[in-house]
Structure 1
Amino acid sequence: MHITFHGAAQEVTGSMHLIEVNDKRILLDCGLYQGHRADTYARNLNFPFDPATIDAVILSHAHIDHSGNIPNLVKRGFRGNIWSTAATRNLCTYMLMDSGHIQEQDVEYLNKRNRRKGEPPIEPIYTRQDAENSFDYFVSIGLHRTVTVADGVDLTYFDAGHILGAAFVQLDIREHATGKKWRLVFSGDLGREETPILHPPEAPANADIVLMESTYGNRLHGEFNQARKMLRNVVRNAARRRGKVIIPAFAVGRTQELVYVLNQLDADGDIPSLPVFV
C-alpha cells in the first residue's frame, strides 16, 4: 500500500490524499487549493495524476477545500464513484454549483484584463455545468454502514462533528500482495465536543494508520459557554453604543452556529432583539 499526499500537507487547503493498493487508486477528498491567484489557478487546474486512473473518491465533508475540485476531476476523465454521506452530497449540490459560478466570474474578469494586455484567454477550472455533471457520480451511504469501495477496501463513516454530514473515514484494507490487513482512519476535519447543533465527534475503536488534520493542534479551545458569554457581552456593549457587530465566519458551519446562539441569547433575554444580517 502506498499513500501520497497531494494537498493539505504542511498547508491547510487542497485536501487530497491518494491511496494505492491492490492495483486500485482511491482518492481521499478532492479539495480546492486556496492561495495566491496565479499559483491557485495552476495547482487546481492540473492534477498530479491522471484523473481517469482514479477508481473511487471518498469525501469527508462538503467544505470547498475538501470537495471543491471534484467537478474538475470529472471534467478531466474520472468516472468512478464519489462516496459521501447523504448530507454531504446535498450540500455539494449547492456549494459546487456556487464554486463553478465563482470560477466563471473570475475568468471573465481575468480575460478582460488579458485582452487589454494582448494576452491569450484562459478557461475556468470548471463551470456550473461541470459541477452539475459531477453529481451523477455521487453515491451516498449512512454512518456506521460498511460498503466495499474497491477490491479489498471497505469503507465505514463515523460522525466527525464538524459540519452537517461531516464524517471521518475508516478503511479496512486487505492487501493481496502481502496478505496484510490494515485499518486506516482519515479524520477529515473534526468538530468540538460542545457544539450547539451537531453531535460531538465519535472516536474510532482502533487504527493501524491515522491521517489527521491539525488545524488547531497547537491550542486549546475554551468552553463553549464561555464563548457564549463573550458574544453576549460584545453584543450588549455594541447595542449600548448604538454600534454594529461584524463577525467574519465561514458560510457553512460557523455562520449557522452563530445565528443559532444569537437566537438563543435573544430568546433568553440576554441581549436586546436586534436585526441579524447574513
Structure 2
Amino acid sequence: EYENRRRAKKKKGKRKKGLVKPLYTSQDIPPVMELFETIGYQKWLHITDGVRAQFRDAGHILGSGSVTLEIIEGDKKTMFGFTGDVGRPNRPILRDPKAMPEVDYLICESTYGNRDHIEKPAEEERFLNIINQTCVEQSGKLIIPAFSVGRTQEIVYMLDRLENEGRLPHIPVFVDSPLAVNATTVFGSHPECYDNDLHEYMLIDDNPFGFTNLTYVRNVDVSKSLNTFTEPCIIISSAGMMNAGRIRHHLFNNIDNPQNTLLIVGYCAPHTTGGILRKGTEAIKLFGEWKMVKAKIEIMDSFSAHADRHELIEYLDNQKGKVKTIFLVHGEFEAQQDFKMLLDKNGFENVAIPDLGQTVELE
C-alpha cells in the first residue's frame, strides 16, 4: 500500500511506475490479529507429536525470547536452540536475559561478537556531556535516531532520571515517532516485565517515560514545525538506522549545521544512511540532494540492546561442554570470526559460521 501511494505520486520529469499487487493490505490485519495466542516464558508448548518448544526471556526488547526445541524421534531426543537477539544484563527497564536450557545444537547471534560496551556510569556521564556541549554551550540541536521499540524508551528513561536528579538542562525534548509513542504506551502497560531497579524507581516517579519538558509527537504538522524550531532541543526519532521515517527529515534540516550533534546509539548496517555516517562520510544524499555533514557525529553503542562479546560468553556459559555445535549468525563476518576465536578460547568446541543457504545435516 505504501509503495503504491509512493508510485502514484508523479514526480516532475519522471514517469509513473506501475502499481504492484500487494501480498496483503491493512484490511487483512485485524482478522489475523485474532489468531495470535500469547505464550508465557519457561512453559513447554506442544507443537506436534514428538516436538515441544519453550521460550525464555531474552532481555532484548519487550517480549523478546529465545527458542528451544525438544525433538524426540524414537528413542533419540535432540535439543535445538535459537538465541534470537540476546539482551544485556544490568540494563535499564527490562529483566536480565534468562539462560537457555542445555541444548545439543545452538544458533547464536553475534552482532557485537568483537566489541565491548562501556559501563553504565561512564555511559550516563558521556550522554550528559554531549547534551551540555550541544544544547547549552553551542545552542544547537541534539538529534538521536533510535529504534521505536526499546531504544527510545531507554533514552527517555535516562533523561527522566537526569531530570529528577536536577542535572538535565532546561531544554525541550521531543520524541517524534508515532510508532515510538505507541510502543511507549505498550511499555507502560506491562510493568510485570520491568526489572527490580525500575520498580524501585517508580516508588519515586510513577511515570518513568514522561517529564515536564518532554513532548511526544504524533501529528505530522507538529513534526514539520521542528524543522524551523530554532531553540536548543533534543529530538529522538526513528528509524534507528536512518534509512526511513521522520529522522530523515531531521537529518536533512540539521546535518549541515556545525552547532548540532547527531548521536548514533546502536548498530547500523553498513549500507544504510546510519552506517555511512558512522564511517565518517563528508556528505550524505537525502531526498535527492547532497548535504554536507558539518554536524558533529557521536557514537554510543552502549545503548545497544544487543549483548557484547563477553556478555554473550556469560549468557552461553551453561552450554559449555554440552552443546555439540554452535552456529553463528546475525553478525558481520569479521565479528563472527572474532567471536568464534573467543568461543574457542573459552572452551566451546565446534563453532561454525554457516554460509548463506548452506544446509547442515545434524547427527
How would you bin the TM-score normalised by the shorter chain? 0.5 to 0.7
Paired positions, count: 172
CA distance 1:248–1:181, shift in 2 (3 Å):
same
CA contact (8 A) 1:170 1:186 kept: yes
Amino acid in the other structure paired with 1:192: R
Amino acid in the other structure paired with 1:237: Q
2:56 to 158, 169, 175: 158
Larger RCO (alpha carbons 8 Å, 6+ apart): 2
Larger radius of gyration: 2
Report whether the alignment pairs 1:244 with 2:141. Answer: yes
What's the secondary structure of 1:171's corresponding residue?
A: strand
Partner of residue 156, structure 2: 259
1:112: Cα distance to partner? 4.5
Partner of residue 187, structure 2: none
Amino acid in the other structure paired with 2:156: V
Which consecutive residues of structure 2, in runs of 5 or more, have no partner in the other structure?
176-363
1:276: Cα distance to partner? 1.2
What's the secondary structure of 1:262's corresponding residue?
A: helix
CA distance 1:200–1:118, shift in 2 (3 Å):
closer
CA distance 1:212–1:131, shift in 2 (3 Å):
farther
CA distance 1:275–1:174, shift in 2 (3 Å):
same
CA contact (8 A) 1:192 1:200 kept: yes
Partner of residue 205, structure 1: 101
Identity %: 41
Report whether the alignment pairs 1:196 with 2:92. Answer: yes
TM-score (norm 1): 0.57
1:200: Cα distance to partner? 1.0
CA distance 1:122–1:112, shift in 2 (3 Å):
farther
Partner of residue 113, structure 2: 217
CA contact (8 A) 1:161 1:198 kept: yes
1:190: Cα distance to partner? 1.0
Partner of residue 341, structure 2: none
Query: In 2, Cα distance between the equivalents of 1:230 and 1:113?
Result: 46
What's the secondary structure of 1:139's corresponding residue?
A: coil
CA contact (8 A) 1:111 1:122 kept: no
Query: In 1, Cα distance between the equivalents of 2:113 and 2:45?
Result: 31
Which consecutive residues of structure 1, in runs of 5 or more, have no partner in the other structure?
1-103
Amino acid in the other structure paired with 1:252: V
Partner of residue 136, structure 1: 34
Report whether the alignment pairs 1:269 with 2:141. Answer: no
Partner of residue 232, structure 1: 128
Partner of residue 198, structure 2: none
User: After superposition, what is the alpha-carbon deviation per residue over 1:166-209, rounded to whole angstroms, capped at 9, x for unaligned?
Assistant: 11111111124xx3211111111111112110011111231111
1:211: Cα distance to partner? 1.1
After the TM superposition, list the runs of 4 or more consecutive aligned residues in structure 1 that deviate by more than 6 angstroms: none
Q: Output aligned runs, 1:21-170, within 5 Å.
A: 104-112=1-9, 117=15, 120-170=18-68
1:123: Cα distance to partner? 1.9
User: After superposition, what is the alpha-carbon deviation per residue over 1:30-80, rounded to whole angstroms, capped at 9, x for unaligned?
Assistant: xxxxxxxxxxxxxxxxxxxxxxxxxxxxxxxxxxxxxxxxxxxxxxxxxxx
What's the secondary structure of 2:69's corresponding residue?
A: strand
1:248: Cα distance to partner? 0.6
What's the secondary structure of 1:140's corresponding residue?
A: coil
Query: In 2, Cα distance between the equivalents of 1:118 and 1:241?
Result: 45
What's the secondary structure of 1:245's corresponding residue?
A: strand
Query: In 2, Cα distance between the equivalents of 1:216 and 1:130?
Result: 37
